[in-house]
Amino acid sequence: MKHTSSLSLRGVIFTLLVMTLAVASLTGCGKQHILTPQATPSRGAENQLSKQARVAYDSGDFTTASSLYDRVLQKPNLSKAEKRSAWRYFALSTIKSGRAFLGLQALDKWQSSQPGAIDSTEWQDAWVLAIKQLPQDKALVILESTYRNTSKPWGLRANAALLLAGIEWKKGNTGAALTSLEDLYAKAPNTKYKAALERRLFSELNGVDAQLLGTLAGYLTPQNEITYPYSLILLEKARRAAGDEQNWPSAWAAIERLRALGKLADPTIIDSVLAPLQQEFGEPAQGIALALPLTGPYGTIGWKILRGAGIAHWQLTNSGHNFALKVINTESPTWEQELAELPEGFTIVGGPLRKEIFRKIHDRDLTEKHAFFSFLSSLPAGTEGEDGWRFFSSPKDQVRTLLNFAQFDLGINNFAALYPNENYGRKMVELFTERAQQQTQSPVMTASYAPNEPRGWSKDVKNILIKSDRENKEFQADNGTFEDQLNSKMSTGQYKEMPYRPAFKAVFLPDSWKNMESIIPHFFFHQEDRAVFLGPTLWEQGLSAGKKLESRYYKLAVFPGMWNPFTPTDASKQLVQAMNDAGLGKPDAWVGLGYDFIRLAAGMGSMPSDWDDDTVNEKLASAQNMDWSIAPISWDEDGNASENLFLFRPSRNGFVPVNPEAFANRVNTVRVRHDERIQMMMDQADTKKAEELGVSVLEYRRQQEVAIDKARSIETAERKKSGLFSFETTPATSQ
């Protein structure tokens, strides 16, 4: 192809979709034909006629121009150059005057008289315009034929593909149309062709109506917004939003994000949009505040959050964002006054970190002036999404993460909870039991222990095992599994040393890791080595110290967390690198929290002076779709937050991420080995009893079968007498 500019997008998808051009009257077109020369006028007359035709064409009188060029072509003895020129302008003027069929024939003549003309932008633009004037069924035939014809120039085939995608769009197949554009872009031979496709699409997007652009924008995601065709849709959306001065900061941020990511083949498209807008509105100023404890018992945490926030602010301002960052120490005696005096431009405030501070902020009605994103696990009832927003995981997030893993990855539906009898433990167990019973339709066995009396913890563990074992055997007996019933009776005989058989397969332990190092081993002491131990985020604090563990006790233990240093995202990699470059050590969850908060707040843009909770929630809907360094937080339409936490398991030197498949395999292996150990213990008990009776093991087991049959008959009779079903008619229920 000779001209890379030949990929004009005037005939692209979106114009065809909205089809603002009416189909021109084709009356008489079927009778028209290209005439052959009949007369022999003088050269002077020929030149005069050509000049008149060109004047008509240049003035936009395409009907007259077409007629005059038709007369020129009837003249004999035209030179090759004159013939090329006449066919060119006859084709162009005929199509521009609305006679598509005749125009397409003239384009072929132009190409015949000037090989290579088909590669030019002018030729292809005219072809596109002609196709758009045809009835859809006629257009489809030509478009499909052209696209399949590999001998045609790639630019022309690209135009055909774009128009075909447009027809899909017109039919309502929006996703199919966008996918077609993605495929077309991927097949472009080189960067120049891709750049041409970008320019054409953006040119067409300039002309689509707001409703159509809104439909297009509905297909934007964080993953695709930097790729064709979605990047051009985002750019046009931002360009239009910038027309409203209140939306300029967020529009500017979106355009800057596109420029920084650098995925366009022709980045000058972005500059052509940004430069005039910045000249009109200037670089927007946005203020973000942080309300943090920088002294006192929580000062260390406050400084970590500030460290991450400072890095984000530095990165953003160096990439073109223009906003101030103000920090207020909530341990200062003047903190309330400082918050009250924040200027109007500082709408978004990160913090506070303590509940009593948020309570004072709320009581002073400061939440009416500023949108507070607290670093708290919960907000007072009725305030979240209205008087404040949460930028932190909640206990519900922890419980949901644990239960979903246990149920959907491990197939566990029976749970127990052993908790410290204090406020935190009681609240966590209440959340856990409520959610577990909703998900599994099975009750959760609960038991508590005195947190300050570790000497009694072994007994507490034993008691919950005994209680669950008893309920499990009663359940099995009630549901007709005779062997389980017999085992229950025999547990007081020669099998009395057998491990308990609790109904639960996983146990929730909402306490610190320090206490877990004592409590979990008690389960093993009482021969329960199959249970999966589910812990809260509290475990991370104790495990972060990195002291060596007796890891055999914790192979089936898991807990959620918000910072994953093992499989970093692009955002966390940038944070780690920035921390390393500055000599600040390694980031943790608190540093990541501050880093992501500033990035989210900057992405939300500035708020209008009359903002309300709906405004904030609408801004969050798009801003939250970013690359997170911590576990991603999302907000629903009412402003309620939830965090998709990571899962970890304790390891010899701390903790590591959970591989669900490997963890499930480990659980199954432990259960198989446990059953094998039980069978071995039963075999040993049978052998010992047979020796005491002076019979062989086989004879002893035959006697046991007789005893089982006798017991079965007695039990069946008792159940019939009481009106219950017999074992033969009651299906067994497995656990």
Domain boundaries, the chain: 286-393+568-648, 395-476+493-566+649-657
How high is the pLDDT of residue 472? 65
> Do 286-393+568-648 and 395-476+493-566+649-657 share a fold?
yes
CB atoms within 10 A of CB 684: 12
How high is the pLDDT of residue 396? 96
Lowest mean pLDDT among 26-30, 413-417, 624-628: 26-30
How high is the pLDDT of residue 265? 92
How high is the pLDDT of residue 731? 35
Q: What is the three-class DSSP state of 635?
A: strand
Strand partners, 641: 635
Residue 283 has pLDDT above 70, yes or no: no
How high is the pLDDT of residue 433? 97
Residue with the larger pLDDT of the pair 303 and 41: 303
Q: What is the pLDDT of residues 476-521, one digit of tens each?
A: 555 544 444 445 444 434 456 678 889 899 999 999 999 999 999 9
Query: What is the rounded average pLDDT of the residues 251-270?
Result: 78
**Alpha-carbon distance 646 to 537, whole Å?**
10
Q: What is the pLDDT of residues 515-545, one digit of tens each?
A: 999 999 999 999 999 999 999 999 998 888 7
Q: What is the pLDDT of residues 349-365, one digit of tens each?
A: 999 999 999 999 999 99
Return the percentage of the chain with pLDDT > 70, whole number: 84
Q: Please say whether the beta carbons of 127 and 104 come within 8 A.
A: yes
Helices 100-113/121-133 angle, 10° precision: 160
Q: Virtual CA dihedral for 204, 207, 208, 211, nearest 10 degrees?
A: 150
**Alpha-carbon distance 495 to 503, whole Å?**
19
Q: Please say whether the beta carbons of 663 and 409 come within 8 A.
A: yes
Query: What is the rounded average pLDDT of the residues 204-223?
Result: 79
How high is the pLDDT of residue 22? 27
Residue with the larger pLDDT of the pair 166 and 577: 577
Third-level CATH fold of 286-393+568-648: Rossmann fold (3.40.50)
**Alpha-carbon distance 713 to 707, whole Å?**
10
Both tokens of residue 651? Answer: 């390891």
Helix (H) or strand (E) holding 651: strand 646-651
Q: Please say whether the beta carbons of 242 and 47 come within 8 A.
A: no
Query: What is the rounded average pLDDT of the residues 133-158?
Result: 89
Q: Please say whether the beta carbons of 413 and 442 come within 8 A.
A: yes
Q: Virtual CA dihedral for 468, 473, 475, 479, nearest 10 degrees?
A: 160
Query: What is the rounded average pLDDT of the residues 217-224?
Result: 73
Query: What is the rounded average pLDDT of the residues 423-430?
Result: 96
How high is the pLDDT of residue 714? 76
How high is the pLDDT of residue 727? 35
How high is the pLDDT of residue 491? 41
**Alpha-carbon distance 384 to 637, whole Å?**
12
Helices 154-170/136-148 angle, 10° precision: 140
**Contacts with 220 (C-beta within 8 Å, 6 or more apart), sequence order:** 230, 233, 234, 237
Third-level CATH fold of 395-476+493-566+649-657: Rossmann fold (3.40.50)
Lowest mean pLDDT among 376-390, 569-583, 697-711: 697-711
Lowest mean pLDDT among 95-109, 254-268, 611-625: 254-268
Residue 733 has pLDDT above 90, yes or no: no
| Mean pLDDT value across the chain | 83
Query: What is the rounded average pLDDT of the residues 29-55?
Result: 60
How high is the pLDDT of residue 607? 83
Strand partners, 327: 290
**Alpha-carbon distance 145 to 156, whole Å?**
11
Q: What is the three-class DSSP state of 449?
A: strand
DSSP 724: P
With cut-offs at 50, 70 and 90, classify the pLDDT of residue 40: very low
Query: What is the rounded average pLDDT of the residues 692-721?
Result: 75
Query: What is the rounded average pLDDT of the residues 235-254?
Result: 78
**Alpha-carbon distance 319 to 533, whole Å?**
46
How high is the pLDDT of residue 492? 38
How high is the pLDDT of residue 25? 27
With cut-offs at 50, 70 and 90, classify the pLDDT of residue 734: very low
Both tokens of residue 232? Answer: 């051009």
How high is the pLDDT of residue 11? 32
Q: How far is CA 175 from CA 144, 236, 453, 690, in A?
A: 20, 19, 63, 75
Q: Of 384, 376, 386, 402, give the one whose Cα is nearest residue 593.
A: 376
Residue 143 has pLDDT above 80, yes or no: yes
With cut-offs at 50, 70 and 90, classify the pLDDT of residue 339: very high
How high is the pLDDT of residue 715? 66
Q: What is the pLDDT of residues 451-476, one digit of tens each?
A: 999 999 999 999 999 988 877 655 55
Instruction: Tell me the pairing of strands 323-329 and 348-350.
Output: unpaired
Residue with the larger pLDDT of the pair 398 and 158: 398
Residue 26 has pLDDT above 50, yes or no: no
Q: Please say whether the beta carbons of 309 and 597 come within 8 A.
A: yes
DSSP 24-58: PP-TTGGG--PPPP-----HHHHHHHHHHHHHHHH
**Alpha-carbon distance 425 to 407, whole Å?**
22
Q: Please say whether the beta carbons of 605 and 253 come within 8 A.
A: yes
The pair phi, psi for residue 269, each rounded to 5°, is -60, -45
